[in-house]
Structure 1
């Protein structure tokens, strides 16, 4: 139990110095309201009269208060002669205009009888007892301080202490918490009463059961039977002791044999460990020989799979831009660090032209090499079926690059014709359809995939994607070429798959 700090609400005329208590269960504030401090000014004509200590209880202010309140006893309205009635402003504190007026909502704590019995409790108007400290009555003169109020607060604290000691529950409690506690105690009382009834029923049932008292003859018979059972048990114990002695002698013999077996086992494990060590040494030597053989076989397979075209033309990607021998083929206009110079683009086109020309020349004359690729380093050219030659290098104007566009288009057409030739050759060799060549991106005129390879009036991003798809198709054709020539096929189009996954 501890008083809460702070005074009343904003619109409540409660002395801020008044103590506030807090509910020990829900921790809500319990505010003492309606207490007239002795510092209150009375009317001048009543100052000379005899005054009683005034502790006005149960005063419901018009201000809004959302706490629980401790209600002190109401002061008897029968005051001494010459004391004017309490002005209305003292009983009903002034409220602000914007504050809603309603009765105080909350719970109220009533002092227990043992705590209140130490005061005189004359009946007051309204039937509420008046708390008057001992030695101080209504006829005594009013002191110049609030000692009467503090006496009442001391009594209130003492009442809470007595209630806490009697109920084993920390006081004070608000009305809601007191109801919860009361319901809980009622439930416990019901459980205890139910247990008492159950015990009483069992006791009555036991008392009603008759007692079977044996007669002398029956008792002697039971005694004789128990003695016979005792003799049998003694005989069984003697037999068990004999067996125990026999088993003990056998155990000694077994212990001697066990020690002999342990010595044999120890010698066996020494010999076994020696043999195991020799066997492990031989196995390690054998494994080392096998490892050297395996490494040699791996090197042999690697040498068998080595292909000059696969090493000479490394097709990969650098982000969204395809590369051949680390030369980037394409450019992005909106990214500064991906601005590829035309010298690098021309070198990449030269490598691609050299690769396609090498594969086409290998199968000539079986392959109708109609479109001629002229690899000339960084300045490759393409001759179409009408013997018109176009430059496959830049720089060119983005809005006027007709010859460069035609060269790229005829290069793409030549790649498509070579791929069709490879597919027909697989059919002739009865290659299963799932193992036959199939380009990852369809070529249709100047489009590969869904992007055109023409640079005029085209976005750099779309042109870059078309070039990347073209290099991916070129790499698939390269792997088919390696698998169908005198060279052994490589492990698989790893970089080509990565090119497709990056799109």
Structure 2
């Protein structure tokens, strides 16, 4: 309430009082107070409902609706809400409110002489506020809302009263029917009815207690089920976490398995390649690869290797007849170099082949752990040599030449000694193999002094002269005899190669058996 006027105690809107309130008589005031005291008990709940009603703007809307419903209702009448008028903010005024501690019984009666009209209205509103439980004054909207709430409560109370009246009538009708239907006029008294109702009430109370106990048990079981449900939910969450962890680990394991499978395929491929390489290496004879020993027909080279030694047509005819008689002859080879076959094979090729033979014989003796007793082989390719062991210091060249110098003729003589020394080293190696029971040392191969398989390893005089290209200058020599000597020398060298080849094959087989 402002100092210049009144405000609504709920929405705090400024108010202007109706002029009729300034002329309230003492009788009217007392009647209002008596009516408010009679309705105090029912207003308390109404105030709680009223306090939940929305604010000023909503109250204004409710007021407008109430006005419409009031105008259209047959029971409409002018209420106290029409005693108030809404003001704008500029018209707001305020007036002091009476002390709340003052009781309505001590409110002085307004008089036209001593008490002003404003004080009378304030005391009246204060009395109404104290007796009804709802603060006054109220604006039109709030008063309409309060009126509607009270009207709804009145309708509810009337419906409840009608229900009680109907129930009473039905009960009385039922009791009358029972009285008329009772035999011999026996009618239960009210005491008996009350006793029965008391027993039934007691039974209902017992049933209620039993149901309450069952309800408590059900509640206890529900709490137990809730605890069990919580445990199950926790277990479910734990299982979900385990499942997620399992799926993650499974994914990692699958990736790892795929990686290992890829590595396994790679390693398997590498193993197959290594196995193939191993089988290839196991089947490989390193000595056969280093020293490839074989033979070729010498007749394939006759036409392209005709000797230049003969100086006359008659000598050429004798060479042709010698060639035609020796076309079936074969010559041994080592690494593609022919060993023998003079005069069709040049000394350069023969010297290189003899160097390989010396190297092969030297390597085989070292492999089997044998040292020669009288000679030492010094492999030096086409210029290899055979050295006698101390106390002798003789050195024999294992190569020859067609040079006609005196020094070269002497060297060709030492060439024969070198061939004999090489053959003696081969004989010592075979004897050592027989003592060690080597497979390659068995057989009927005969080596005696300067012969192998009955063929001399040395160059004869005629053969030497023909080899040097001076056949026909020595009286009594013939081309046929020289050719036969060449063939015999070639066969001796081929026999040496055959022995070396057998040694290499058997030693390679022994190595393979040891490795497996």
* Structure 2 length-normalised TM: 0.33
Q: For the pair shown, which has the larger CA radius of gyration, 1 or 2?
A: 2
* Structure 1 length-normalised TM: 0.33
User: Which is bigger in relative contact order (C-alpha 8 A, separation at least 6)?
Assistant: 2
Q: Higher helix proportion, which one?
A: 2
